[in-house]
Structures are given as structure tokens and as C-alpha cells.
Chain A
């Protein structure tokens, strides 16, 4: 099998699997218990937290462990919006966010918040000036993703952060689920107040999310319960998952440069191969992340291509895994001004550490033969 769906989830590091099993076996006590077995488990969480802070180079602030990227995004956005609702009820985000951000804003809108959704350019980018123009005296939160989960474009987080420094009452949340461990994220330097990440996107276990909360920022918890995770996230912490997540994060960040170079080579190679198949159109412009390539076959249902790739032993995605069962055209592609048929036909290829050039060549060859096969059926299958 050739697995090209690393944006959806990644094969965990063997070391992370091992760590998870060992910790699960040895430290089953509840980390909130007073006895030594409990405090030992609690120390593992604190050591993991310190490791996360050092790997992501934050000196202040708090790292919270949540149940995943979706929970981190929900907690950051709902938690901040509700906490600071007295200050203002206007929020800003973009049209190309992941559903866990986009739908969260939808929910807040129904609760009475006003939300500005910034459109992206044809290349798949939001401009910092758009953020500045959308700011009102009532704005309390801006949420912009770092790497788009569907087409891989990199948003100008550093520049948005620096313009928001002049608006100290506006909080800046970044959904960095697709970028942490893959490209540099300078949380404090860029003026980020809240940042979400997810362990299973960087070869850690599922069920562990990270949320950075800058000093001085308070969130309203989503759940009622105990005082775990500084009171922000009631519930017994997932000790083995958290330790394995911290380990996976360390392994990812330590090898980030070298892996990045390899991904860039693979991406360039795939783009060359796609370039000679005129039916396929690559979506999104630069800057973009090197581990994601997104293209459309206008006039062709994307599921057909996914299933035909499957016959070649190749796993790829249509759009965000969180919305791929939904047959509607991609909201993200539509936001870039794509035509309906183009928006319906997106295929996402995302690379991982196991891929070599020959794997990309196999993918290119499979696509060439699929297109050849489908060509006579164009438009009849949409």
C-alpha cells in the first residue's frame, strides 16, 4: 500500500507506540490521585508539558493537553469568545478554515456573535490587510490557520501577528494542526495568543491535542468537571497518549529540516508529473507547504479517482477527512473562486517520511493511466 494521506493521519513512530504501551502498562494510576502512583503519573504529564514547551520554544504561557486538534480549536475559540464577550462580540476568521474552526464560528454566530469570514485569493491565501480592514472596536478574536489542510497554502501568520500587536485587546488564534512538526512556528515571536496542534498529524497517537495559551489569556472551559489542565479541561488526562505525543513532537521537530528538504523534492517531482497530464489542475499557489499537493480533475467525481487510486494500492483523500463524507463541493475551493465542477473534483496528496521518489513515480503513473481510462467518461460521471 502507498499511503498518501498524511494530512488526515500519520503512521505513528515505532518509539511512540512503544512509549505509549509502556506508560499505559506502568502508569495506570489517575494523575490527580494524591498517592505516589498518582503523583508519578502527574509528573509524566508535567515532563511532557515541559518537553512540548522546549520543542516549540515557548518561554512563557501554558501548554494544555486536550483530546485532539478539534477540541483545541473549539476550546480556544469558544473559550476566548465567551470569556471576552463583555469586551466585544465581533470575531474574524477565514473562509478556508478547517471545519473544527469554521463550524465553531458558525455556532458562535448563532449565539449572537458577529463573525467576519475573510475570503482567500485565487492562490489560496488571506492577506494581512484584509484582517486589518475587518477589525472593529468590537473585535475580540482573530483566528487564521497556518497551513491549509486541503490545499496546503501557508497563511501569513507572522505578518498578521505583527499587525495585531498594535491591537493588544484582540486575541490571535492559529490552527497549526497541519504545520507543527513540519514547518517552523515561532509562537512568541509572531505574537500568537492561542495555538492548536494535534499529535496524530505528526506521527503521535490519536486522541491528544495541544493548545498553547499565552500568559494573561483566560478561557472559559467547554466542559464542567474537575480542575485538571489548570481548570481548562476537566477529565482524567490521557497519560500514555500525552507522553507519546510529546515524544513524537520531539522526534518531528528535531528532524524537521531534513524531512522538509525531502518533502520539497517529492513535491517538485509530483508537480512535474502532474504537469504533463493536462486534464489535472493543481490548486493553490505559493507559499505552500511541501508535504501537500492538491489537484482537481474538472468534470470528474473525486471519489471515482480515490477508488481507482485504491485499485492501484494508493490511498489519497478528496478533501478534509473531517468533511470528506459530505458530497458537496469543497467550501475551501469555492472560497478561492473555483468553478463548481473544479471545486467538486479535488484530490489531496500528502507525503510522509516513508515516501521515496519511486513512490511518487508510481503515483504519477497511476494517475496517468486513470485519466486515460476516465477520459471518455468525462462529464458523465459528475
Chain B
């Protein structure tokens, strides 16, 4: 079956009130950018929907790309017909015949949005349904619980027919809920948190702390790959801040507070991130923390760590189980990268018994005793390098050697 277009539905949430126009515009921009690699595709808007005209492009790869974009609740491959009864009937029969596994029951749901069309919705249900029944003996109508619901959408410009409704990623279009920084470690959780934040329409920049030579170049490349994957979902390039963390970490490791070191490290990260957020105009910090998962993610730990920052801390995974997080990581294609065995700075200097119940007063006291601590934090923020990444940014391996060798 050669589909002519794909209809995208936004869902109710984005359609309310004065924000509608803004959301719709963002949606179209986002779809356009995501489909930039496909030639000849055109777009037109209708109330609460966006039509992507394929103009000869195959349906599957386009639909596969759209399914991963946020702000779309569902999509359907559509064929169109002129607003002429015989032609609508023929198109309906053709569409039903093309279903790979023929259903036993169906119903027609016609909707006459264009009141200039001579037959009412009710009449069309019978006229189209009757024609399909005559063409496909053995098929029965079941209005309550049909296996296939054939929709006939009568608009002024054309009549659209479809039966498949494919769920999409949902959420809000990119950037429709402001901007935040994501702490991206290279583990399993933080990319999932990033994906969920993007899904809620946040514009994201990622922040990664590296402690070369205690961490390897590969650990950094892993984070680059994860950030690239996130930018596939937003359809926008993503900025990755690479913060030099070696000096701070070695200083903390020498402060003889082994059981507090994770708490101190996390606080330092938040303070540097808050400084970076101020510079890039971000209004929140997203982390991949999940309650109780590790020592730094107990409620008392989060309390003490969180007090080092004033910005809202968004923790999409906070009440999720590890397996649920892993399932999402696999679905969004970050899992295999996340489990590559390169140590990141969060697992460095890991004490035997990190505290699960740090004391804020003691933590603040320890920090105040570290010489030039403020200057160290400022130097880390100042020494931060940023790279822009998109899914087609060459990986370290893709850029290896001389191009002439390949």
C-alpha cells in the first residue's frame, strides 16, 4: 500500500488556551528538522493535527523517525480521496484489502468536518461500510468491539481514510517548557533522565565531569555518544559541557573524610552546574537519581546534597525501580553504551562505607576548611569546554586515522 501522508496528533494538553499557536509552531519546526533528510516532504496544519505529505517517500522510515519525536501522541498512515462518494468507497475498500491479516470484524467511523459534503457522518458510515462488506465477503460489522476501525475524515480539501493508530512518544515538543542542565555521568540512569526531561519539553544542555587521568578518554567518548543519542530525540543539536573535575576530586580525596567524599563531590558538582546554568540561562538541574539506589541517593543524602544548589532539582527517576529504568534505557538505545566498562568520576575514590546519613553542619565545616575551595569551584566552571553534538557528529572511531585510508 502506497500511503500518501501521515497524520500526527498532538493530544489535548498542548492544545489548550493561548499556548496553542506556539506549540503548533514548535511542533512543525521540530518535525521539519527531524525529516530534513527526506526529500520532497511537505506539511500542512489542521486543527490539532499536522499532516506530513510523503510525496513519494516510503512511509516506514518517515514514521519510524516521527514515532520518537516528543509532542506527538499518535500517528496514522493515510490515503486520500476526492470528496466523491464512489471514489471514497473505492479507496476504503482498497485500504481494507491491504491489511496483511484480514480482520473478521470492522466498523466505519466517518466524520464530516466539511458540512458542504452532501452525506452526513451517519449516512457515510452505512454507505462506505456497505461497499466494503460487498467487496470483502466474510467480513462483519461490529460497532462495539471491531478489530479494525476504518476512519473517514471528510475535510473540504480532501477526504482522508485510515485505520491504523500508532502510539508515539507523547510529551511536549522540544523547548516548550524552558531550559535545564542535565548531569550526564555515562551510567544507565542519567541518559534516561535526560530522555524523560526532553519528553516533557525541556530544552537540555548536558554537563559531564571528567577526572583525567583518573578517568579515561573512553569514558568521555561514551558520554559524547549518549549526548548524541539524546539529540536524536530532540531533533536538535545538544550542547555538552565537559567540566575538569580532577583538581577538586583529588583535593576532596585528601581531606580525610572518606565516608563523606561522595556527598562532598555531589555538592561540588551541583555548585559548578548552578554556575554553568546561570551562564546559559537554564532554570533547573536534571539528575538521574533514584531514591535509595546508592548512598548518595538516600533521602538524608539528597537533603544535604540538594542544599548546595538553589535551582529546582528535577529527578524524573526518583520513584522508579532499577529494572524500569533499564527497560527505558534499552528502548531508547542508550543501554549498550551505558554499560561500556569505563570508570567515570562518580565511581572514583569510592569509600568502603560511604555515609547514607550525612550531617549538613559537618559537611559545611569540612568544605570551609578546604583551602581555596571557592576558587577551585570557579576554576572548574571557567575551565569547562563545550561541544555541540548531533546524531551525525562523527564518533571517535569514525574520525580515526586518515580519511584516505578508508
Chain A interface (Cβ < 8 Å from any Cβ of B)? 19, 22-23, 27, 34, 36, 39-40, 43-44, 46-48, 50-51, 243, 246-247, 250
Q: Which residues of B contact A39 (CB under 8 A)?
A: 217-218
Q: Is the CB of B397 within 8 A of A43?
A: yes
Q: Is the CB of A247 within 8 A of B405?
A: yes
Interface string of B388-406 (1 = CB under 8 A from A): 0000000011111110111
Q: Is the CB of B406 within 8 A of A250?
A: yes
B42 within 8 A of A: no
Q: Is the CB of B406 within 8 A of A247?
A: yes
User: Known: A36-B217, A39-B217, A44-B400. Is A51-B406 also a contact (CB below 8 A)?
Assistant: yes
Q: Is the CB of B216 within 8 A of A243?
A: no
Q: Is the CB of B401 within 8 A of A23?
A: yes
The smallest beta-carbon distance between B213 and chain A, in angstroms, is: 11
Complex CA distance for A36 and B218, rounded to whole angstroms: 10
- Closest residue of chain B to A247 (Cβ to Cβ) is B406
Complex CA distance for A250 and B406, rounded to whole angstroms: 8
Give 6 A-B pairs besides A22-B405, A43-B400, A47-B406 with Cβ atoms closer than 8 angstroms.
Answer: A22-B402, A39-B217, A44-B400, A46-B397, A50-B398, A243-B401
The secondary-structure label for the interface of chain B is loop
Complex CA distance for A246 and B400, rounded to whole angstroms: 14
Interface string of B362-406 (1 = CB under 8 A from A): 000000000000000000000000000000000011111110111
- Closest residue of chain B to A43 (Cβ to Cβ) is B400
The smallest beta-carbon distance between B218 and chain A, in angstroms, is: 7
Q: Which of B253-306 contact A (CB under 8 A)?
A: none
The smallest beta-carbon distance between A49 and chain B, in angstroms, is: 8
Question: Which of B396, B397, B404, B405 has the most CB atoms of chain A within a 10 A radius of its CB?
Answer: B405
Complex CA distance for A27 and B396, rounded to whole angstroms: 16
Question: Which of A34, A36, A43, A246 has the most CB atoms of chain B within a 10 A radius of its CB?
Answer: A43
Q: Which residues of A contact B404 (CB under 8 A)?
A: 19
Complex CA distance for A36 and B212, rounded to whole angstroms: 13
User: Known: A40-B400, A43-B397. Is A243-B217 also a contact (CB below 8 A)?
Assistant: no
Q: Is the CB of A243 within 8 A of B218?
A: no
Q: Which residues of B contact A44 (CB under 8 A)?
A: 400-401, 405
Q: Is the CB of A19 within 8 A of B405?
A: yes
Complex CA distance for A193 and B245, rounded to whole angstroms: 46
Contact of B401 among A43, A50, A250 (CB under 8 A): A43
Q: Which residues of B contact A43 (CB under 8 A)?
A: 396-397, 399-401
- Closest residue of chain A to B400 (Cβ to Cβ) is A43
The smallest beta-carbon distance between A208 and chain B, in angstroms, is: 14
Complex CA distance for A219 and B397, rounded to whole angstroms: 26
Complex CA distance for A60 and B401, rounded to whole angstroms: 24
Contact of A47 among B217, B218, B398 (CB under 8 A): B398
Q: Is the CB of A243 within 8 A of B396?
A: no
Contact of A246 among B217, B402, B406 (CB under 8 A): B406
Q: Which residues of A contact B402 (CB under 8 A)?
A: 22
Complex CA distance for A267 and B105, rounded to whole angstroms: 58
Question: Which of A27, A47, A51 has the most CB atoms of chain B within a 10 A radius of its CB?
Answer: A47
Q: Which residues of A contact B398 (CB under 8 A)?
A: 47, 50
Q: Which residues of B contact A48 (CB under 8 A)?
A: 406
Q: Which residues of B contact A34 (CB under 8 A)?
A: 216
Q: Which residues of B contact A19 (CB under 8 A)?
A: 404-405
The smallest beta-carbon distance between B98 and chain A, in angstroms, is: 22
User: Known: A34-B216, A36-B217, A39-B218. Is A243-B406 also a contact (CB below 8 A)?
Assistant: yes
Q: Which residues of A contact B406 (CB under 8 A)?
A: 47-48, 51, 243, 246-247, 250
Q: What are 25 A-B pairs at a CB distance below 8 A?
A: A19-B405, A22-B402, A22-B405, A23-B401, A23-B405, A27-B401, A34-B216, A36-B217, A39-B218, A40-B400, A43-B396, A43-B397, A43-B399, A43-B400, A44-B400, A44-B405, A46-B397, A46-B400, A47-B397, A47-B398, A47-B401, A47-B406, A243-B405, A246-B406, A250-B406
Complex CA distance for A22 and B398, rounded to whole angstroms: 18
The smallest beta-carbon distance between B352 and chain A, in angstroms, is: 26
Q: Which residues of B contact A51 (CB under 8 A)?
A: 406
Complex CA distance for A34 and B218, rounded to whole angstroms: 10
The smallest beta-carbon distance between B337 and chain A, in angstroms, is: 13
Interface string of B89-111 (1 = CB under 8 A from A): 00000000000000000000000
Q: Is the CB of B397 within 8 A of A50?
A: yes
The smallest beta-carbon distance between B385 and chain A, in angstroms, is: 18
Complex CA distance for A51 and B401, rounded to whole angstroms: 13
- Closest residue of chain B to A16 (Cβ to Cβ) is B405
Complex CA distance for A246 and B398, rounded to whole angstroms: 13
Q: Which residues of A contact B218 (CB under 8 A)?
A: 39
Question: Which of B218, B399, B401 has the most CB atoms of chain A within a 10 A radius of its CB?
Answer: B401
The smallest beta-carbon distance between B405 and chain A, in angstroms, is: 5
Q: Which residues of A contact B217 (CB under 8 A)?
A: 36, 39
Q: Which residues of B contact A246 (CB under 8 A)?
A: 406
- Minimum-distance CB pairs A-B, first 10: A43-B400, A46-B397, A43-B397, A47-B400, A19-B405, A44-B401, A44-B400, A47-B397, A243-B405, A51-B406
Complex CA distance for A23 and B403, rounded to whole angstroms: 12
The smallest beta-carbon distance between B364 and chain A, in angstroms, is: 39
